[in-house]
Structure 1
Amino acid sequence: MKVFMDLKWFFKQEKRPYIVGILLLILVAMLELVPPKIIGIIVDSIKEGTLTGSQLLKWMIILTVTGISMYVIRYFWRFMIFGSAYKLARQLRDMLYSHFTKMSQTFYQKKRVGDLMAHATNDLQAIQQTAGAGVLTMVDSLTIGIAVVVVMAATISWELTLICLIPMPFMAIMTNWYGRLLHQRFYKAQEAFSSLNDKTQESITGIKVIKTFGQEKEDVEEFYHQSADVVKKNLAVARVDALYDPTIAGIVGVSFFLSIAFGAKFVIDGMITIGELVSFNAYLGLLVWPMLAFGWLFNILERGRASYDRIRSILDEPVDVKDTPDALDQVPTGDLAFHIDDFTYLGEQQPVLKQIHFRLRRGETLGIVGKTGAGKTTLLKLLIRESEGFDGDILFGERRIDQYKLERLREAIGYVPQEHFLFSATVAENISFAKPDASIEEVHHAAKLAKIDQDILQFTDGYETIVGERGVSLSGGQKQRISIARALLIQPEVLILDDSLSAVDAKTEEGILASLRETRAGKTTIITAHRLSAIQHADRILVLDEGEIAQMGTHDELMGQDGWYREMYLHQQLEAIVEKGGSHG
């Protein structure tokens, strides 16, 4: 019953529908006691020869009214209890989704997408069953069970009732043991399903890579093994589940045997009548459902408890990045100042950034370059507060970035990440994602600035073309430019292009950069790149090496120094000359 205690907050919240539903359930249970009693009376009347047509009609009318009443009342209690259970599933789903949106990148590095999906589907379904069928089963089985036993003992024979209840403690012992086994095995089965879910999602997403490297056979085999593991662990659950009905049916059979054996003797001894024995066995038949339901209840509760434990473990994960109590509810503007002494990712030993100190005036363009793993993206993630926990400060408009509400800080920043993501929607909807109320003219303008407008117009349905899941139908350069258009649409105070021009050709790159220079006067732009042509016109260039600033200055200043920047720029220029010469060959 622990899961009911865990869900006490919800039952308190929805107390009115649950109270009404439970009262209606109890009323149905009371009405179910009427037919066996009437049957016993009719049997005795037949035996004594006193039954008349009018009496029979009266009892038939009572039975009919009782049946119709139960039919109507059952509709309303189902609406009350199961309706509330659906609300619980929706509320937990909303809580999970809201929690997912608040979590930092660290959380998603630890958790698998398939596992998170399983929490929002299979686990929620099991909890919904607990709050619906579980409550129904508990109340119904207890009410009917207690009421039937009381009526049997009080109106027919307490001695016969006591004899027929002798097997019941054995059922309680067995179902309790089954429940413990079921909890352990169902938890493992849900974990296995999560792994399979994750494998399926990963394989479908990476199907191009799988096919390119000819790994279809190996991938199918791995899926087969994981699928077999899911079946194996669910069969382990089913083996325990399958024990409930035979155990309960056996105990019920023993009770019926005792009822017939001792009941016949009681009739012969004149302690009860034939009609009362018939009624007693009819009541005993009503006890079959509570006993079966009792076993089913353990099944539902243990599944629900295992699933609720899994969901609570996710909801209990702390939010790494959150608003401070006195955070400003305003969009920041002004200069940017970085004073980072040290930053190390959680669980790592070596710092990723060290002694990063510089100021970027509003309206300037900053270029950040360096070898792969030099810390370029990490620096940007600290600015948008995707990661925290560094020694030092980042100032935006002379205030620390954590003094602004997170939502307002990110309103000021348009971020185009390395791993651009497009939704399975139209091109126009992808561009207007951050500004859903944008006019089609604004969408077209942003697309022109990103030099993707002409490509879009050549698509089958133009701006209404569905790009496919994750933009699967587009080239890398097209996805990059749509992502850039999405960021430009909101006209952010700070635009960040994190190696977002790598998949476009040199001519398109120059066109995009020219658009930015023309339209972003007075607004700050930060560009990270491996191709130095993308940042050579920047007002300031940082060269990062192993998390530290190795060089800083304008393009001309850095070309006048011996160092990584000059060496890499000349190398890339030579490559461009060779490629150009090759094209003429």
Structure 2
Amino acid sequence: MGIFKKLGWFFKQEKKRYIAGILFLLVADIAGLVPPRVIGILADLMNDRKLSLNLLFTWVGLLLGAAIVQYISRYGWRNMIWGGAATLERELRSRLFGHFLKMDETFFQRHRTGDLMAHATNDLNAIQNVAGSGILTFFDSILTGGTTIIAMMIFVDWRLTLVALIPMPLLAVSARVLGSRLHRAFGESQAAFSRLNDKTQESVSGIKVIKTFGQADEDIDDFEKIVDRTIDINRKVYRIDSLFDPTTSLIIGLTYAITIIYGGWLVTTSTITLGQLISFVSYIGTLVWPMFAIGRLFNVIERGNASYDRVYELLGEKSLIKEKSNATDHLIAGDISYHVASFTYPDDEETSLRQIDFDLGAGKTLGLVGRVGAGKTTILKLLLREFDNYDGEIKIGVKNVKDYTLEGLLSSIGYVPQDNFLFSTTVRDNIRFASMDKDQDEVESAAKQSAIHEDIQGFSRQYDTLVGEKGVSLSGGQKQRLAISRALITLPEILILDDALSAVDAKTEAEILTNLKADRHQKTTIISSHRLSGVMNADEILVIDEGRIVERGTHEQLLTLNGWYAEMWRRQQLAAQLGVGGAEDGAE
């Protein structure tokens, strides 16, 4: 019953609702005692030939009244208890979703998307069932069992009641033994479901890659192995769970046998009447539900207990990015002062950045270039506060970035990552995602800046065109330009393009950069690019290699150094003249 204790905070919060629900349950159970007693009385009246039409209508009216009371009471407890369960589900879903949004990148590296989805769906449903059917079953079995046993003692015979209940301790023993085994089995079952969810989500997301490389059959085989393993684990759960009902049926059978033998003897000795024995047998029928409910209760409790532990293990994780209590949340502006002596990713032994020092004046443009894995994106991640565990200091204006709230910092930065994510909505709503109150003129202005407006005009429904999941209906270049529009529409003080022009042609790239230079001449821009033409007009260009700045200067200064930058420039210029793609083998 530990899950009830774990959910104590919620039951305390909703105590009025649950108290009312339990009272409705009690009224319904008391009303349920009337029919067996009335049937016994009618049997005695008929046996004694004393049943008149008036008495018959009186007792039938009492049965009808009890049925009406039960109807109203059942509506009451369903409304209260199931309403409480829905409240718990809403609260936990909101809490878990909010937790996901607050967590840092490290959290999502540790947990796969499918696993997080399993926690947010299957596990939360199991916890909700505890607050709904769990509470109902627990109190209904106690109240029904308790009131029925009391009625058996009062209306029939206390000796017969005690003798008939002799098999009951066997039910408690079996429930305890099977319950502990169920808890372990349900934990394994929920973990298996997470693995299956992971595989399904990964395969659906990567379906194009799977088909392109002809791995459909292999992926199906892998999926079927996981399904088979999940089924085997669930079979173990079902085997244990299936033992409850036969055990309960055996105990009920013993109870009926004792009742017939001992109760029949009591009737023959005139200790009780035949009608009382009939009532007693009916009461035993009422006890069948509480007995079976114990098996159901342990099923719900153990599943919910395992799920609760899994969910709260997630909720207990803390983001490595912590905001200061006095952090400012106003929009930021000013020079960028970036001085990082070293940075190492969590759980990584190798240092990713060393001695990264630069100052970028407000309104200036910085270019970052270098080989794949050189550290360009890592530099940007620290500026965006995706990680705080570095040795050094990063300032925007006069304040350290750690002195701003995340909302204050990120609302001032327009970031376009390497991997562009578009939502399954219209082109318009994707562009104005960060500011849904923007009107059509502002949307079109941002689209024109990123050279996507003419493409949109050619779409079937123009700005009302649905882009599909992750922008599946768009080309790579169109996705990138839509993502740039989304960043530009917020008029950010700092714009970061992290290899965000890699999928557009040189002409479109030049058009976008020209638009940015004209429209953002007083605002800061950072461009990370493998195509050097994208940074050639920057006020300063940093060449990054193995987490260090190996070259720096303007485009002309770097050409005179005749180093990596100059060599890559010559390669890319030659490739452009030959009409082939840029020399991307040496750059990110």
User: Which bin holds the TM-score, normalised by the shorter protein?
Assistant: over 0.9
Q: Report the Cα distance in structure 2 between the residues aligned to 1:100 and 1:458, rounded to whole angstroms.
A: 38
1:267-303: CA deviation from partner (whole Å, max 9, x where unpaired) = 1122111111111111111110111111111111001
| SS of equivalent to 1:151 | helix
- 1:413-432 to 2 correspondences below 5 Å: 413-432=413-432
Alignment correspondent of 2:151: 151
- 1:516-535 to 2 correspondences below 5 Å: 516-535=516-535
Compute the displacement of 1:491 (Å): 0.8
Alignment correspondent of 2:586: none
Identity among equivalent pairs (%)? 50
1:383-415: CA deviation from partner (whole Å, max 9, x where unpaired) = 111111111110011100111111010010000
Q: Report the Cα distance in structure 2 between the residues aligned to 1:404 and 1:504, rounded to whole angstroms.
A: 35
Residue 396 of structure 2 aligns with an amino acid whose one-letter code is F
Q: Report the Cα distance in structure 2 between the residues aligned to 1:219 and 1:294, rounded to whole angstroms.
A: 42
- 1:12-51 to 2 correspondences below 5 Å: 12-51=12-51
The CA RMSD measured in Å over matched residues stands at 1.3
Paired residues in the alignment total 582
Q: Report the Cα distance in structure 1 between the residues aligned to 2:205 and 2:530, rounded to whole angstroms.
A: 27
Q: Do 1:532 and 1:569's aligned partners in 2 also have CA atoms closer than 8 Å?
A: yes
1:530-561: CA deviation from partner (whole Å, max 9, x where unpaired) = 11110010001111111111111111111111
Q: Report the Cα distance in structure 1 between the residues aligned to 2:444 and 2:255, rounded to whole angstroms.
A: 79
- 1:188-337 to 2 correspondences below 5 Å: 188-337=188-337
- 1:383-462 to 2 correspondences below 5 Å: 383-462=383-462
Task: Please tell me whether residue 61 in structure 1 is matched to residue 70 in structure 2.
Answer: no
Task: Please tell me whether residue 142 in structure 1 is matched to residue 142 in structure 2.
Answer: yes
| SS of equivalent to 2:243 | helix
Alignment correspondent of 2:508: 508
Q: Do 1:115 and 1:197's aligned partners in 2 also have CA atoms closer than 8 Å?
A: yes
Q: Report the Cα distance in structure 2 between the residues aligned to 1:24 and 1:126, rounded to whole angstroms.
A: 24
Q: Do 2:575 and 2:581's aligned partners in 1 also have CA atoms closer than 8 Å?
A: no
Compute the displacement of 1:15 (Å): 1.1
Q: Which runs of 5+ in 1 are unaligned?
A: none
Q: Report the Cα distance in structure 2 between the residues aligned to 1:113 and 1:274, rounded to whole angstroms.
A: 65
1:306-331: CA deviation from partner (whole Å, max 9, x where unpaired) = 11111111111112213211111211
- 1:368-387 to 2 correspondences below 5 Å: 368-387=368-387
Q: Do 1:452 and 1:481's aligned partners in 2 also have CA atoms closer than 8 Å?
A: yes
| SS of equivalent to 1:448 | helix
Q: Report the Cα distance in structure 1 between the residues aligned to 2:176 and 2:465, rounded to whole angstroms.
A: 58
Compute the displacement of 1:460 (Å): 1.1
Residue 549 of structure 2 aligns with an amino acid whose one-letter code is I
Compute the displacement of 1:562 (Å): 3.1
Q: Report the Cα distance in structure 2 between the residues aligned to 1:52 and 1:288, rounded to whole angstroms.
A: 33
Q: Report the Cα distance in structure 2 between the residues aligned to 1:54 and 1:164, rounded to whole angstroms.
A: 35
Residue 552 of structure 1 aligns with an amino acid whose one-letter code is R
Q: Please, what TM-score do these two structures have when normalized by structure 1?
A: 0.98
Alignment correspondent of 2:585: none
Q: Report the Cα distance in structure 2 between the residues aligned to 1:264 and 1:135, rounded to whole angstroms.
A: 38
- 1:174-185 to 2 correspondences below 5 Å: 174-185=174-185
Compute the displacement of 1:194 (Å): 1.2
Alignment correspondent of 1:468: 468
Q: Report the Cα distance in structure 1 between the residues aligned to 2:57 and 2:154, rounded to whole angstroms.
A: 27
Q: Do 1:322 and 1:406's aligned partners in 2 also have CA atoms closer than 8 Å?
A: no
| SS of equivalent to 1:339 | strand
| SS of equivalent to 2:507 | helix
**The 10-residue stretch of structure 1 (147-156 or 284-293) with the greater mean CA deviation from structure 2:** 147-156
Residue 271 of structure 1 aligns with an amino acid whose one-letter code is T
- 1:460-499 to 2 correspondences below 5 Å: 460-499=460-499
Q: Which stretches of structure 1, 4 residues or longer, exceed 4 Å deviation after superposition?
A: none
Q: Do 1:363 and 1:520's aligned partners in 2 also have CA atoms closer than 8 Å?
A: yes
| SS of equivalent to 1:560 | helix
Task: Decide whether aligned partners of structure 1 residues 394 and 581 sit closer, same or farther in structure 2, where only a CA change above 3 A counts.
Answer: closer
Residue 195 of structure 2 aligns with an amino acid whose one-letter code is S
| SS of equivalent to 1:66 | helix
Q: Which runs of 5+ in 2 are unaligned?
A: 583-588
| SS of equivalent to 1:328 | coil
Task: Decide whether aligned partners of structure 1 residues 455 and 405 sit closer, same or farther in structure 2, where only a CA change above 3 A counts.
Answer: same
| SS of equivalent to 2:19 | helix
Compute the displacement of 1:438 (Å): 0.5
Compute the displacement of 1:186 (Å): 1.5
Residue 504 of structure 1 aligns with an amino acid whose one-letter code is V
Q: Report the Cα distance in structure 2 between the residues aligned to 1:155 and 1:36, rounded to whole angstroms.
A: 10
Alignment correspondent of 1:563: 563
Residue 486 of structure 1 aligns with an amino acid whose one-letter code is R
Alignment correspondent of 2:132: 132
Residue 398 of structure 1 aligns with an amino acid whose one-letter code is V
1:404-453: CA deviation from partner (whole Å, max 9, x where unpaired) = 11101001000000011001111111111011011011111111110111
Q: Do 2:160 and 2:263's aligned partners in 1 also have CA atoms closer than 8 Å?
A: yes
Alignment correspondent of 2:108: 108
Compute the displacement of 1:581 (Å): 13
1:499-525: CA deviation from partner (whole Å, max 9, x where unpaired) = 001010000000000000000011000
Q: Please, what TM-score do these two structures have when normalized by structure 2?
A: 0.97
Residue 105 of structure 2 aligns with an amino acid whose one-letter code is Q
Q: Report the Cα distance in structure 2 between the residues aligned to 1:552 and 1:353, rounded to whole angstroms.
A: 16
**The 10-residue stretch of structure 1 (113-122 or 38-47) with the greater mean CA deviation from structure 2:** 38-47
Q: Do 1:267 and 1:274's aligned partners in 2 also have CA atoms closer than 8 Å?
A: yes
Compute the displacement of 1:166 (Å): 1.0
Compute the displacement of 1:2 (Å): 0.5
Q: Report the Cα distance in structure 1 between the residues aligned to 2:547 and 2:85, rounded to whole angstroms.
A: 52
Compute the displacement of 1:339 (Å): 1.2
1:5-51: CA deviation from partner (whole Å, max 9, x where unpaired) = 11111111111111101111011111111111111111112122222
**The 10-residue stretch of structure 1 (215-224 or 45-54) with the greater mean CA deviation from structure 2:** 45-54
Residue 329 of structure 1 aligns with an amino acid whose one-letter code is D
Q: Report the Cα distance in structure 2 between the residues aligned to 1:316 and 1:129, rounded to whole angstroms.
A: 22
Compute the displacement of 1:580 (Å): 7.1
Q: Report the Cα distance in structure 2 between the residues aligned to 1:110 and 1:173, rounded to whole angstroms.
A: 41
Residue 452 of structure 1 aligns with an amino acid whose one-letter code is I
